[in-house]
Amino acid sequence: MQALLHKDRPALQGLRVFIVEDESLVAMQLEDMLFDFGCDVVGLAMQVARGIEMAAAAEALDVAILDVNIGGQKVYPIAELLRRNGVPIVFATGYGRAGVEAEWQDCPVLQKPYTADQVGSTIEAVLG
């Protein structure tokens, strides 16, 4: 399956991806999906404060996948920092587009639970 994913999604190979996700199993599964696509997961934050630190220090991010609700806190402070730095953002939430605040409606949304194909397609779409 891994070779097939690489072949089907060559645009994703080598992408530098930043993840904010507070559910460890979901985070590990997402990391595995991204590794299968040939992406480089450059950071994984499980708390908003840590995500802000990591996003501020990160260099040359290609895309960020952010869970909207992190331990009861909204992820938007991280999203604002990333947007200022020109990093494309994908939100992940169990509530779909309805779970994303109005000012962020232009960003793609991955509805949980999502598949590897949905992750790949969404990243390709946000990168144009």
Taking only the tens place, the pLDDT of each residue in 86-102 is 999 999 999 999 999 99
pLDDT at 1: 41
9 — pLDDT class (breaks 50, 70, 90): confident
Dist. CA 59–CA 106, nearest whole Å: 24
Residue 18 clears pLDDT 50, i.e. is over it:
yes
Taking only the tens place, the pLDDT of each residue in 61-72 is 999 999 999 999
Residue 21 clears pLDDT 60, i.e. is over it:
yes
Q: How far is CA 126 from the centre of its chain?
A: 11
Domains and CATH numbers, the chain: 12-123 (3.40.50.2300)
Taking only the tens place, the pLDDT of each residue in 36-56 is 999 999 999 999 999 999 999
